[in-house]
Amino acid sequence: MTYKQLKHNARKFFREQLRLADYIDVRAAADNIRNNIPFRGPTIYILFVAIVIASVGLNVNSIPVIIGAMLISPLMSPIIGFGMGLGTNDTKLLMRSLKNLGIMFAISLIASTLYFLVTPLETDNPTELLARTNPSIYDVMIAFFGGLAGILELSRKEKGTVLSGVAIATALMPPLCTVGYGIANLNWHYAGGALYLFFINCVFIALATFIMVKFLNFPLAVEHETRSWRKTISYSLLLLVVLVPSFFSAYNIVRENEFSINARHFVKDNQTIGGTYIYDYSTDMSAKPYKITLRLAGETLSTENRARFYSEAEKHGIRHEQIVFEEDATIEVRRLNETEIMRDWLTNTEAQLRQRDDSIRSLRTQLDAFEALQLPSDQIKAELLSQWPEIADITLARADSSVILLITTPDVTMPEENLTRIHNWLSVRLQEPAVEVIVRH
């Protein structure tokens, strides 16, 4: 096979693999998008449920609950409708999509704000809330490529599960609920960052929809409409305004990550310098420049060792003004450890005393029971021999449920009435109703 034939076959193969026409129904997709835009009936209730679920999920910091809210949220439909309206020159669809999206936005914002005003739950570690407050270029990429996947899925003849993944990836409902949280708690950093993330998602999902609508040749609502250069400039400026802050945010994320890695390697490589030991450290990304706090134990940091720390830090990209030493923290830790040791000792001692008291009580109970089982054999023998001299010897023992008295009389035979009297006397004497008297000759 020649190179030209191989090249031809390769092109044919990839054309067949990448061909969309046989798998796409743009007219059915356009009708489906238009039908899902109206905000009435069940859509209102579904939006309300999604708001509550997302707010609760953010409140309790539960990722599965937040994912559930993403899956059932109807916010994606008007955004895709807006992008299709732009791509098909359908001004009516565009305005209807904007109107419904605005209503959904207002309802979601009011409902989530009210929820966070009345909820009795405190969010101690709001990592899921915080994740929606610092959008970056990565969120732009997620929204854009998620939008591409979404419009392609809607255009397929055979529908799959792509839309569920798009709903989770682009995450429209959680940012809105985070805005509500920020308003309810007067935390404008949360509110502003989450609102920006929601705006990024909306703009770039719509942009992706617009591009794919053009690429797939969706039918135009108005044929041969000419777009003025002013509209093109307006759209370009809008995208630029949205993109620029996200680039700054992404740059900060990369810098913070780099500083964290450098700090970890610096501490790992310089755990001990001289007689000084780094037992803990922390980083502060809110400081400008970023700070690393080193908590030291051991010897007091000398001027020479301090200079060595600075020199090693420079090798890891950390300047000396970014380093904070906390030597006094070692005293606090030592005192804390002494307090914890004393507390543990007292706790263990108290537990041992309780265990000893329990053992004493148990032994006392066993002793009482044992003493109760003992019989005053010598005293009984003396008392019986004083009354019946003909008895040579006696043996007193306790059986399972009775007391046995064995009388030895080798020379005489005791009358039956004497044995009865001995039986009755011994029963009263020992306070045992079950007494058995046996005579051995």
Sequential DSSP letters for 74-114:
-THHHHHHHHHHHHTT-HHHHHHHHHHHHHHHHHHHHHHHH
Sign of CA dihedral 133, 135, 140, 142: negative
DSSP at 60: T
Cβ atoms of residues 54 and 177 within 8 Å: yes
Q: Do domains 16-225 and 377-440 have the same CATH topology?
A: no
- How far CA 203 is from CA of 35, 95, 144, 187, in Å, comes to 21, 15, 9, 25
| Domain ranges for the chain | 16-225, 377-440
Give tens-digit pLDDT for 101-139: 898 899 889 999 998 888 877 766 666 676 677 777 778
Torsion of CA 205, 210, 214, 218, to 10 degrees: 90
Cβ atoms of residues 437 and 426 within 8 Å: yes
Q: Which CATH superfamily, name and number, covers 377-440?
A: K homology (KH) domain (3.30.300.20)
0.75 exceeded by the pTM?
no
3-state secondary structure of 53: helix
Please give the Cα distance from 395 to 393 (Å, whole number).
7
| 169 closest CA partner among 252, 76, 257 | 76
What integer pLDDT is reported at residue 188 of this predicted model? 87
Please give the Cα distance from 346 to 355 (Å, whole number).
14
What integer pLDDT is reported at residue 342 of this predicted model? 56
What integer pLDDT is reported at residue 333 of this predicted model? 47
What integer pLDDT is reported at residue 336 of this predicted model? 45
Cβ atoms of residues 177 and 197 within 8 Å: no
Ranges of the chain whose pLDDT falls below 70: 1, 21, 123-128, 130-131, 159-163, 222-236, 238-243, 246, 249-250, 328-349, 366-374, 399-401, 441
Token match 């509500």: residue?
Answer: 180
Q: What dotted CATH number matches 16-225?
A: 1.20.1080
